[in-house]
């Protein structure tokens, strides 16, 4: 039976990601009154502004303390919110930087070379037991902690308490805080070891507390689960997580494709279809791409990370399994392409467009404008995720534009200007 997973953030070195919240349905659906309510809700004071930290803490203890309340209270004594955590939460590079810039920075020749040198550190047993290729595990290791060198030095308890108090992801953050405190109470790790990213991710594989308790395993056979100091433990645990998420053994994660001039861009990032469906619509594999029989039968999606002018991908199920680590297209592509490089596969044929990054004001403003126009982005949070892209496709279609769902700085400025 598969264990329910909660997303894991990136390491402090690459600005960890809080899981993207569940998004709404198709972008066409918001009625004017509902859209206005969404836009209005976005400017209301947050719990961080109107509730004291002590008040939140007592509420947390009442909700989650149970039999461990006294022990939890001791660990939370003397804590104060960490302002840097709130700042970092609002500036995650996977959603603010152009995907191409993020991927090119992550998938460097140096990183690929370092990954090849470290393949021998990935336990062969991880691939044999869980079916996850070692190059994927090494790519995650590189991206999450620079091969264990940068694991983050934030107090995980303080970081999660800050995020819970802030309220933007309160339920998630409180659950993770409860799990982190339980790690201490159970004696699995001392408080001093619970250092990690601003988002609460820990160790060389950057596991969130709940996944550490449920999925971390002993990879080096010493009888101790130590994802901080043992690469084998960290990588075996990462393989276990991906396997529990549904990793497709023997299959890849994506293929670069070329789209015909008359391609219906509204189909991108939509319902998953077998390869025959996309081939009938003129989608062509880039040179070197040859899906196996099993891959051709899988439901796959067309992804346009930088819109109609950038590279296009056929995303297989394992692409979405990688996103169980971090729910970002940019992150999953960086992992997959780093793994491809480590395995000696060819790089991209198409070039990434050179675009300006989106400011937080532009991202929030575009989401408010979409909501006000009747296209529900699924939340006003400054995170350009799948809900925002769906909403943007609907708005683009309604305005006679190519519905590729790609938010550029210029398009954000236009949306904001039209709302005024």
User: What is the model's pLDDT at position 419?
Assistant: 86
Report yes or no: 318 and 253 within 8 Å, Cβ to Cβ: yes
Distances (CA, A) of 164 to 37, 117, 167: 24, 40, 5
Q: What is the largest CA-CA distance in the chain?
A: 65
pTM: 0.83
Among residues 32, 96, 73, 63, the alpha carbon closest in space to that of 358 is found at 96
How far apart are the C-alpha atoms of 205 and 143, rounded to whole Å? 9
3-state helix, strand, coil in the chain (%, to 5): 50, 5, 45
The neighbour count for residue 397, using CB atoms within 10 Å, is: 16
Polymer length of the chain:
420
Per-residue pLDDT of the chain (420 residues; tens, 9 = 90+): 333 333 333 333 333 333 333 332 322 333 323 222 323 333 333 444 457 999 999 999 999 999 999 999 999 999 999 999 988 886 665 556 899 999 999 999 999 999 999 999 899 999 999 999 999 999 999 999 999 999 999 999 999 999 999 988 899 999 999 999 999 999 999 999 999 999 999 999 999 999 999 999 999 999 999 999 999 999 999 999 999 999 999 999 999 999 999 999 999 999 999 999 999 999 999 998 899 999 999 999 999 999 999 999 999 999 999 999 988 999 999 999 999 999 999 999 999 999 999 998 999 999 999 999 999 999 998 888 889 999 999 999 999 999 999 999 999 999 999 987
Beta strand ranges found along 291-363 (DSSP E) = 301-303, 312-315
Strand partners, 273: 300
User: What is the model's pLDDT at position 330?
Assistant: 93
- Sign of the CA dihedral with 251 first, then 254, 256, and 260 last: positive
How far apart are the C-alpha atoms of 407 and 387, rounded to whole Å? 12
Report yes or no: 138 and 339 within 8 Å, Cβ to Cβ: yes
Residue found by looking up tokens 């309510």 in the block: 37
Give helix 69-76 / helix 53-64 axis angle, nearest 10°: 160
How far apart are the C-alpha atoms of 245 and 325, rounded to whole Å? 9
The neighbour count for residue 91, using CB atoms within 10 Å, is: 13
Please provide residue 278's backbone torsions phi and psi, each rounded to the nearest 5 degrees: -75, -35
Among residues 318, 315, 291, the alpha carbon closest in space to that of 302 is found at 315
- Name the DSSP class of 306: T
How far apart are the C-alpha atoms of 267 and 289, rounded to whole Å? 21
User: What is the model's pLDDT at position 50?
Assistant: 53
How far apart are the C-alpha atoms of 189 and 192, rounded to whole Å? 8
User: What is the model's pLDDT at position 93?
Assistant: 58
Among residues 402, 415, 324, the alpha carbon closest in space to that of 361 is found at 415
| Three-state SS at 328 | coil
Among residues 409, 403, 372, the alpha carbon closest in space to that of 390 is found at 403
Which segments of 77-133 does DSSP mark as H helices, in order?
83-89, 93-96, 99-106, 109-117, 124-130
How far apart are the C-alpha atoms of 65 and 73, rounded to whole Å? 8
Q: Which residues contact 28 (CB under 8 A, 6 or more apart)?
A: 374, 375, 394
């Amino acid at each position: 039976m598969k264990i329910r997973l909660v997303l894991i953030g990136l390491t402090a070195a690459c600005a960890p990601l809080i899981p993207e919240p569940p998004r709404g349905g198709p972008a066409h659906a918001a009625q004017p009154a509902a859209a206005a309510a969404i836009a209005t809700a976005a400017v209301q004071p947050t719990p961080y502004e109107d509730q004291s930290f002590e008040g939140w803490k007592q509420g947390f203890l009442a909700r989650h303390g149970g039999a461990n309340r006294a022990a939890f209270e001791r660990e939370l004594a003397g804590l104060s919110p960490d302002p840097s955590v709130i700042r970092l939460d609002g500036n995650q590079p996977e959603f603010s930087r152009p995907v191409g810039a993020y991927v090119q920075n992550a998938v460097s020749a140096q990183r690929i070379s370092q990954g090849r040198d470290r393949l021998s550190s990935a336990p062969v047993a991880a691939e044999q037991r869980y079916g996850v290729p070692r190059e994927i595990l090494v790519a995650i290791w590189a991206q999450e902690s620079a091969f264990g060198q940068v694991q983050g030095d934030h107090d995980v308890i303080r970081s999660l308490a800050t995020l819970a108090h802030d309220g933007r992801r309160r339920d998630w953050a409180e659950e993770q805080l409860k799990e982190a405190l339980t790690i201490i109470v159970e004696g699995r790790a001392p408080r001093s070891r619970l250092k990690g990213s601003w988002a609460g991710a820990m160790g060389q594989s950057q596991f969130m507390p709940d996944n550490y308790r449920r999925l971390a395993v002993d990879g080096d056979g010493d009888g101790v689960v130590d994802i901080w100091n043992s690469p084998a433990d960290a990588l075996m645990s990462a393989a276990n997580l991906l396997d529990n998420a549904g990793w497709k053994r023997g299959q890849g994660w994506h293929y670069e494709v070329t789209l015909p001039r008359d391609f219906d861009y509204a189909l991108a990032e939509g319902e998953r279809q077998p390869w025959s469906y996309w081939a009938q619509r003129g989608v062509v594999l880039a040179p070197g791409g040859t899906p196996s029989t099993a891959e051709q039968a899988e439901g796959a999606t067309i992804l346009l990370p930088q819109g109609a002018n950038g590279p296009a991908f056929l995303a297989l199920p394992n692409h979405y399994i990688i996103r169980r680590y971090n729910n970002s297209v940019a992150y999953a592509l960086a992992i997959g392409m780093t793994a491809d490089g480590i395995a000696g596969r060819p790089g991209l044929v198409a070039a990434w467009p050179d675009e300006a990054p989106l400011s937080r004001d532009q991202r929030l403003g575009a989401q408010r404008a979409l909501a006000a126009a009747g296209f529900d982005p699924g939340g006003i949070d400054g995170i350009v995720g799948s809900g925002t892209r769906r909403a943007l496709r609907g708005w683009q279609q309604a305005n006679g534009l190519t519905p590729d769902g790609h938010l550029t700085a210029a398009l954000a400025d236009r949306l904001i200007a039209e709302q005024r």
